[in-house]
């Protein structure tokens, strides 16, 4: 699917704001005593869910992978408990910007889904005009048992509208290492580099000693840049780096952002990555690393399952290291990544609320962890014994020593700013945009968003 342009996304905003106020969907959020529905009557009708590839998995032909897809298995079990309801799960596709444009267009027309699953933070807040306020849908015990609610509240306000339910303990940006390639270059995989510059120095050794690529990157869409920039920015400005920029307290073109973009561009110009890094799609990233096309793979903990399966003990990892002299050298970027929202025009709001309450049950969240092995549960009553992936266990241990934990830029910002961010990450890496110009463009885009709130 072709990537939507910024013009398409922003051009719909005015109409979206106007139409959202007159939505015909139910916004009653009073849960029943049982927590399984909003009335004593049995639930019925179709429940339409749009997933952006976060909780569901499909086979090569597009059919749901019932062995691995948490969302489809949960839908099946929910229907068994509520035989009057038919749950239809639709996967929007892999391109984030195209997904957003599709959802916005459908929401303006009032014919989108009952439930949408998207990234937490900015991608949820950006569509707040189309989401029902979930305050009152969950009982206090459920609220108290789960973390991450701050990532889905309007304007990140503790008392703001609840625009979604956070799902999972979070994903974090890190670097995987091909142990055999590193050892061939005389590098001990068990000793992670302490700084970004030390990591690049290791990369120079890999190139000099083996003649192979030090880093494997698939940055066509600018996603790799988002992970690097988001992490390094936290090292410079701390925990509130991105949220302060979102609120206008710190300009996006702060010198720290320019500095970070310069480091990202320097990597692109270093000759340490695969020469086609700027034209390889994110969809090809895992396969390339597995095939030995680079010693280091800058990505996120969502790849834990693949790495464990493909490499076993021959893969190492470390959180993205900060720049030398960073004010917050132990910073790590990531956090809750998935949000489950109900549209305010939902045709079956009662079933939608019941489905969210079903997903919030600790044992259902445990099933999500068991199937994916990429992140833990965000429920304090979770069964941690089901975490079998040794990478995930190790990361959870190290995470206890990391501070601050930074909610990254492309998790916080409004969707139009995120879309621009991805494009600039791609062009800056290729030396087609200067670090200063990239930061200035993002500042202008964010000022526009602030003015329209």
305-314 pLDDT, tens digit per residue, is 899 999 999 9
The pLDDT score that the predictor gives to residue 218 is: 97
Cα separation, 127 vs 16, in Å, equals: 9
User: pLDDT-based confidence at 31, cuts 50/70/90?
Assistant: very low
The pLDDT score that the predictor gives to residue 97 is: 81
Cα separation, 16 vs 9, in Å, equals: 10
pLDDT tops 50 at residue 32:
no
Q: Which domains does the chain have, with CATH numbers?
A: 6-170+336-382 (3.40.190.10), 171-335+406-451 (3.40.190.10)
pLDDT tops 90 at residue 15:
no
More reliable by pLDDT, 148 or 19: 148
Cα separation, 373 vs 27, in Å, equals: 35
Helix (H/G/I), strand (E/B), else coil: 416 = helix
- Answer for the pair 148, 120: CB distance below 8 angstroms, yes or no: yes
More reliable by pLDDT, 347 or 37: 347
User: pLDDT-based confidence at 94, cuts 50/70/90?
Assistant: low
Cα separation, 433 vs 448, in Å, equals: 21
Handedness of CA 249, 254, 256, 262 (dihedral sign): positive
Cα separation, 357 vs 338, in Å, equals: 16
Tokens describing residue 152: 């889905």
What length is written for the chain?
A: 453
Tell whether pTM > 0.85: no
Mean pLDDT within 354-383: 94
Mean pLDDT within 306-328: 97
**DSSP H/E element including 89:** strand 85-91
Residue 442 CA, chain-centre distance (Å), reads 20
pLDDT tops 70 at residue 453:
yes
User: 16-25, 154-163, 257-266, 392-401: which has the highest mean pLDDT?
Assistant: 257-266
pLDDT digits (tens, 9 = 90+) for 272-285: 999 999 999 998 99
More reliable by pLDDT, 326 or 19: 326
The pLDDT score that the predictor gives to residue 62 is: 84
- Answer for the pair 52, 92: CB distance below 8 angstroms, yes or no: yes
Cα separation, 106 vs 94, in Å, equals: 18
Tell me the average pLDDT of the chain.
90
Residue from 138, 120, 145, 148 nearest 52 by CA = 120
pLDDT tops 70 at residue 19:
no
pLDDT tops 70 at residue 46:
yes
The pLDDT score that the predictor gives to residue 177 is: 98
Mean pLDDT within 166-173: 94
CA-based angle 299:301:303, to the nearest 5? 75
Beta-bridge partner residues of 115: 49, 342
The structure tokens 């903990």 sit at 301
- Answer for the pair 112, 345: CB distance below 8 angstroms, yes or no: yes
Cis peptide bond N-terminal to 404, omega within 30: yes
């Amino acid at each position: 699917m072709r990537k939507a342009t910024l013009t398409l996304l922003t051009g719909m905003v005015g109409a979206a704001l106007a139409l959202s106020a007159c939505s015909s969907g139910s916004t009653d959020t009073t849960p029943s005593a049982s927590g399984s529905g909003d009335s004593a009557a049995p639930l019925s009708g179709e429940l339409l869910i749009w997933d952006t590839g976060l909780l569901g998995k499909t086979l090569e032909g597009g059919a749901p992978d019932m062995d691995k897809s948490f969302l489809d298995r949960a839908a099946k079990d929910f229907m068994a408990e509520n035989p009057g309801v038919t749950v239809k799960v639709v996967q929007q596709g892999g391109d984030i910007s195209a997904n957003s444009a599709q959802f916005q267009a459908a929401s303006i027309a009032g014919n989108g889904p009952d439930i949408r699953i998207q990234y937490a933070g900015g991608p949820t807040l950006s569509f707040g005009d189309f989401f029902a306020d979930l305050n009152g849908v969950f009982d206090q015990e459920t609220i108290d048992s789960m973390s991450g609610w701050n990532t889905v509240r309007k304007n990140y306000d503790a008392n703001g509208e609840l625009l979604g339910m956070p799902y999972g303990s979070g994903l974090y940006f890190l670097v995987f290492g091909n142990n055999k390639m590193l050892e061939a270059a005389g590098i001990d995989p068990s000793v992670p580099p302490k700084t970004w510059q030390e990591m690049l120095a290791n990369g120079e050794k890999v190139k000099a000693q083996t003649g192979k690529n030090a880093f494997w990157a698939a940055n066509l869409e600018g996603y790799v840049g988002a992970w690097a920039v988001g992490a390094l920015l936290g090292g410079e400005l701390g925990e509130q780096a991105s949220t302060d920029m979102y609120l206008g307290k710190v300009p996006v073109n702060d010198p720290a952002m320019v500095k970070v973009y310069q480091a990202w561009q320097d990597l692109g110009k270093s000759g340490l990555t695969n020469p086609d890094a700027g034209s390889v799609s994110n969809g090809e990233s895992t396969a390339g690393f597995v095939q030995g096309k680079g010693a280091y793979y800058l990505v996120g903990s969502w790849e834990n399952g693949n790495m464990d399966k493909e490499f076993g003990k021959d893969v190492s990892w470390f959180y993205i290291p900060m720049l030398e002299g960073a004010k917050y050298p132990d910073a790590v970027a990531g956090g809750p990544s998935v949000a489950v929202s109900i549209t305010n025009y939902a045709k079956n709001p009662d079933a939608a609320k019941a489905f969210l309450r079903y997903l919030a049950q600790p044992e259902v969240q445990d099933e999500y962890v068991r199937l994916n092995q990429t992140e833990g549960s965000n429920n304090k009553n979770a069964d941690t014994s089901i975490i079998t992936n040794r990478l995930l266990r190790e990361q959870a241990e190290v995470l206890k020593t990391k501070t601050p934990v930074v909610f990254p830029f492309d998790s916080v910002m409004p969707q139009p700013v995120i879309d621009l961010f991805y494009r600039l990450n791609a062009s800056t890496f290729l030396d087609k945009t200067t670090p200063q110009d990239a930061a200035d463009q993002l500042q202008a885009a964010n000022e526009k968003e602030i003015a329209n709130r």
